[in-house]
Structure 1
Amino acid sequence: MSRLVVVSNRVADPRKTAAGGLAVALAEVLNNTGGLWFGWSGRIVEDGGQPSLHTQHAGPVTLVTADLGQSDHAAYYVGYSNGVLWPVFHYRLDLADFDDGYIAGYRRVNQQFARQLAPLLREDDIIWVHDYHLIPLAAELRALGCTQRIGFFLHIPLPPPLILAAIPGHDWLIRALFAYDVVGFQAEADLLHFDNYVAAEAHAQPVGEHRWRAFNRTVQAGAYPIGIDVDEFQGLAQAHEGREMFERMRREYSRRKLLVGVDRLDYSKGLPQRLKAFRALLTRYPETHRSATLIQIASPSREDVSAYTDILHELESLCGSINGNFGELDWMPVRYMHRTVARPRLPGLYRASRVALVTPLRDGMNLVAKEFIAAQDPADPGVLVLSRFAGAAEQLKEALMVNPYDVEGTANAIHLALQMPVEERRVRHESLMATIRQYDVHWWCNAFLDTLAQAESAESGTPWLRL
């Protein structure tokens, strides 16, 4: 069995389920193959020194991390990854900072990672690279002579060609994707955007369904919507912290209908629009007064960036305004928390809530939607209100779909969710549960890796020119 090598910006111990996300998703296959996980250590060192590698073992899995210099971190992570790619890929050209120096640092760090990773590779390894921080990594590995099968998965959306083309050097980015054997996206919409771009801008030739030839390389593209480990998450709901949170919420809000939102503090999540919709709900439907309570968790994120500071202040102002205008001595409409809630406690919060508000302006997938479904009591389930602009909307069709830009329409959908009879809630939940079980994290992992394993390895004899 070939060893799996995972490369991502950050590395987590796959033994710790509290880590969530990618660690939970990849734990099984990494353990089974004695895999290697490579990425940034999270350490920022002074410029001029030799970047250090750190190696540790998590059972049969080897974790290797690399330090970054101050200027490299500023250009690669803050500048290009999160100052250019993140806003543009989420359709926010107005927030992108196209500083010329950022792309040089982005390329430099990917070259550094490639030089550090290449000596650790075995001839029959299968390499799986994750997310927008590392788009050019395969091209750098190919330039060093690596011929292993290499796949790439983009966890965030891919924008339409005209938005993507606003990035200076956009053609370089897409050319870099052709150094991979398989490129995966969260949603069919993202796959369509890729197909349209490579056909129109890269003049790639189709050689099969979602299979393209350009730059002396052939790449297979596909949609592989990521899921959750349903049993693992339901296990958290039954564990001590999950049950304790559920019972506490039930006691403290016994006379209320809880609505819940759990997000990173990010302009892509549509948090101001969500709070405005909740305010519209209270204005339009007075019967929700003293009845509906929104618990909104906004975990800290990149608070040194001005766009995040602005949204933090806007949220605090909106929450204060809503509570000031509608609150009573024994009822505050919004409970806002600007901190992270431990993952083992979240299932209890979800289970106690009548409605989940997952209303991003744009999102690659959004696993909160799937976790909320998994945590529900099948006999008395809550209702998912879901943005049509979340990748999850392609799968979770029985949710109440909303346009988060339509404040009044979202308020009406929330009211419908609060009033929905239990029979309808059960029917919707049963169908949603079937979907998240069929397309769980194990399906995602196996579907992508099966495609990669069957892909032809890098064409021998065709040198990859450094970009």
Structure 2
Amino acid sequence: MGRLIIVSNRVAPISEGGPAAGGLAVGVYDALKETGGVWFGWSGDVLTVPPEAIKLEEQGPVTFATIGLVRRDYDQYYRGFSNATLWPAFHYRPDLIEFDRDEYDGYCRVNRWLAAQLAPLLRPDDVIWVHDYHLIPFAQALRELGVKNRIGFFLHIPFPASQILLSVPRHRELVEALCAFDLLGFQTEPDLHAFCDYVETEAGGTLTRHAAKPVEVRAFGKTLKAAAYPIGVYPDEVRALAKDGESGRDVQTVKATLHQRKLVMSVDRLDYSKGLVERFRAFERLMEHDPQQRNNVSFLQIAPPTRSDVDAYRDIRLQLEAESGRINGRYAELDWTPIRYIHRQYERPVLAALFREAHVGFVTPLRDGMNLVAKEYVSAQDPDDPGVLVLSQFAGAARELKAALIVNPLDIDGMAEALATALAMPLDERRARHREMYALLRDNNVSVWRDNFLRDLKAR
């Protein structure tokens, strides 16, 4: 039986007790540790000279195969085209797109180079599963090297509507590269529809739809399959992590300093797609319109740093610091700070335990592929006294977690009203909403996501 070979931009060894990681890292690692296999990608190191060889490290059933990037490759492939061009485009922010031909060439070059590093490690019966927007040309590069293995691709972020994608120079080359995969996976049906619409209207391709099966796509002389596979979590594992972390010092400190106040909590990477500024203003509007909430509820926003060398991310950090300072200056009292804004990372058990303490999980991205924070918040709750999830309609998770309070993240008043509803929600209603969402998460966990994708990838 062939191995599962996972390929992602960054290989991030994580553990249940280690630092919290992004949705891709958590989902991929949870999927891989059950089956065993190889996880290949960038080590995170930026080097002054080209790396000599791939570094192999075994952790249980998983072999981590990592390699560094030289500064030029990092700047062009990662910081440049991946995060200054594709990321804003795929998150419906064409106004933030920056395009440079040299960066695009570097993006393609690094994909070819990474493919050449992986190829010697492959066996004929391995199944290759490539993840996310950094690696769109990866299958094309492997095919040019003569690799005939089954290769699938999963996009963790949204796929943009055709009119947005058209704003990216070389968009046709990118979609043609996607068609070198055997199977494309998207988080939601709208993402799948956006891809299919581009194939039909812009690429002159054809689609054959089958009931309960992937769409068959013919474009650029290739035939492939495409479907939606919403990524999940292991809710029972998250619940266990939450209980394990309850006695930790950080969690006990938060509980002690709340002084019986209710807690609204958010955890996001520091990113303009997460709707952080709008969220701060919604909490301010709650204080403004509902004075009885003042000194009775606190908002904890944890926003670990990310891509700090990209200008747009430095800007959002400065804006958040200014907003939190302004709001706290307006409403803080000697014994109460309305917004606790923390710009650092915490370990998974700490976050899970804090989720369990929070009366409201406030997850309101402007656009998100799935958002596993929403699913982890629900998973971490005490079923006897659960909190309430306030969730953006533009997070992929909203298509599954319909028992959350669904909001438009641009509607500041609407979000404030949802917070007030959540904070006042009766116990019976909270239990019923939580029970519905938890059951769905158990039925559609990470194993289901992985197994459904790999089943379709292996099917001829």
**TM-score (normalizing by structure 1):** 0.93
Are the equivalent residues in 2 in contact too, given 1:51–1:68 (CA < 8 A)? no
Equivalent residue number for residue 324 of structure 1: 329
Equivalent residue number for residue 39 of structure 2: 37
Equivalent residue number for residue 167 of structure 2: 166
Q: How far apart are residue 15 of structure 1 and its match?
A: 5.7
**Cα 1:122/1:444, change in 2 over 3 Å:** same
- Structure 1 CA distance, aligned partners of 2:32 and 2:421? 44
Tell me if 1:453 matches 2:438. Answer: no
* Match runs of 1:192-231 below 5 Å: 192-209=193-210, 210-231=215-236
SS of the aligned residue for 2:204 comes to: coil
- Structure 2 CA distance, aligned partners of 1:321 and 1:27? 40
- Structure 1 CA distance, aligned partners of 2:16 and 2:443? 24
SS of the aligned residue for 2:422 comes to: helix
Q: Give the root-mean-square deviation of aligned CA atoms.
A: 1.7
Tell me if 1:270 matches 2:275. Answer: yes
Q: How far apart are residue 127 of structure 1 and its match?
A: 0.3
Identity %: 50
Equivalent residue number for residue 90 of structure 1: 91
Describe the superposition over 1:180-204 as per-residue Cα deviations: whole angstroms up to 9, x where unpaired. 1110011111011011111111111
- Structure 1 CA distance, aligned partners of 2:329 and 2:309? 29
Opposite residue 224 of structure 1, the aligned amino acid is Y
Equivalent residue number for residue 183 of structure 1: 184
Describe the superposition over 1:192-237 as per-residue Cα deviations: whole angstroms up to 9, x where unpaired. 1011111111111123332111222211111111111112211211
- Structure 1 CA distance, aligned partners of 2:295 and 2:34? 52
**Cα 1:111/1:150, change in 2 over 3 Å:** same
Opposite residue 7 of structure 1, the aligned amino acid is V
> Residue 289 of structure 2: which of 279, 284, 296 is its match?
284
Are the equivalent residues in 2 in contact too, given 1:297–1:339 (CA < 8 A)? yes
Are the equivalent residues in 2 in contact too, given 1:355–1:418 (CA < 8 A)? yes
Equivalent residue number for residue 56 of structure 2: 55
Describe the superposition over 1:350-380 as per-residue Cα deviations: whole angstroms up to 9, x where unpaired. 1111111100000111111011101111111
- Structure 1 CA distance, aligned partners of 2:391 and 2:245? 29
Opposite residue 321 of structure 1, the aligned amino acid is R
SS of the aligned residue for 1:299 comes to: coil
Q: How far apart are residue 324 of structure 1 and its match?
A: 1.0
- Structure 2 CA distance, aligned partners of 1:161 and 1:238? 45
Q: How far apart are residue 436 of structure 1 and its match?
A: 1.0
**Cα 1:73/1:26, change in 2 over 3 Å:** closer
Equivalent residue number for residue 7 of structure 1: 7
- Structure 2 CA distance, aligned partners of 1:96 and 1:305? 12
**Cα 1:325/1:430, change in 2 over 3 Å:** same
- Structure 1 CA distance, aligned partners of 2:278 and 2:14? 36
Count of residue correspondences: 454
Describe the superposition over 1:69-90 as per-residue Cα deviations: whole angstroms up to 9, x where unpaired. 2111100000000010001100
Are the equivalent residues in 1 in contact too, given 2:16–2:348 (CA < 8 A)? no
Are the equivalent residues in 1 in contact too, given 2:12–2:43 (CA < 8 A)? no
**Cα 1:304/1:29, change in 2 over 3 Å:** closer
**Cα 1:60/1:404, change in 2 over 3 Å:** closer
Structure 1 gap ranges (5+): 457-467
- Structure 1 CA distance, aligned partners of 2:207 and 2:112? 30
Equivalent residue number for residue 307 of structure 2: 302
Q: How far apart are residue 12 of structure 1 and its match?
A: 2.9
Opposite residue 25 of structure 1, the aligned amino acid is G
**Cα 1:28/1:319, change in 2 over 3 Å:** closer
Equivalent residue number for residue 391 of structure 1: 396
Q: How far apart are residue 14 of structure 1 and its match?
A: 6.0
**Cα 1:221/1:17, change in 2 over 3 Å:** farther
- Structure 1 CA distance, aligned partners of 2:246 and 2:433? 28
Equivalent residue number for residue 357 of structure 1: 362
**Cα 1:27/1:89, change in 2 over 3 Å:** closer
* Match runs of 1:14-25 below 5 Å: 18=18, 20=21, 21-25=23-27
Tell me if 1:344 matches 2:349. Answer: yes
Tell me if 1:128 matches 2:118. Answer: no
**Cα 1:292/1:14, change in 2 over 3 Å:** closer
Opposite residue 146 of structure 1, the aligned amino acid is V
**Cα 1:264/1:99, change in 2 over 3 Å:** same
Equivalent residue number for residue 108 of structure 1: 109
Structure 2 gap ranges (5+): none
Equivalent residue number for residue 153 of structure 1: 154
- Structure 2 CA distance, aligned partners of 1:413 and 1:240? 28
Equivalent residue number for residue 313 of structure 1: 318
Are the equivalent residues in 2 in contact too, given 1:186–1:365 (CA < 8 A)? yes
> Residue 254 of structure 1: which of 252, 256, 259 is its match?
259
Q: How far apart are residue 59 of structure 1 and its match?
A: 2.6
Opposite residue 9 of structure 1, the aligned amino acid is N
**Cα 1:370/1:28, change in 2 over 3 Å:** closer
Q: How far apart are residue 251 of structure 1 and its match?
A: 2.8
Are the equivalent residues in 1 in contact too, given 2:179–2:223 (CA < 8 A)? yes
Structure 1, 60-69 or 88-97: larger mean CA deviation: 60-69
**Cα 1:368/1:52, change in 2 over 3 Å:** same
Q: How far apart are residue 267 of structure 1 and its match?
A: 0.2
Describe the superposition over 1:91-114 as per-residue Cα deviations: whole angstroms up to 9, x where unpaired. 111111111111100000000011
- Structure 2 CA distance, aligned partners of 1:245 and 1:447? 38
Tell me if 1:234 matches 2:239. Answer: yes
- Structure 1 CA distance, aligned partners of 2:36 and 2:154? 21
- Structure 2 CA distance, aligned partners of 1:131 and 1:312? 25
SS of the aligned residue for 2:268 comes to: strand
SS of the aligned residue for 2:125 comes to: coil
Opposite residue 360 of structure 2, the aligned amino acid is V
Q: How far apart are residue 13 of structure 1 and its match?
A: 3.0
Are the equivalent residues in 1 in contact too, given 2:24–2:156 (CA < 8 A)? no
Equivalent residue number for residue 77 of structure 1: 78
- Structure 1 CA distance, aligned partners of 2:252 and 2:16? 25
Opposite residue 381 of structure 2, the aligned amino acid is Q
- Structure 2 CA distance, aligned partners of 1:447 and 1:17? 28
- Structure 2 CA distance, aligned partners of 1:450 and 1:45? 39
- Structure 2 CA distance, aligned partners of 1:28 and 1:287? 43
- Structure 2 CA distance, aligned partners of 1:350 and 1:281? 21
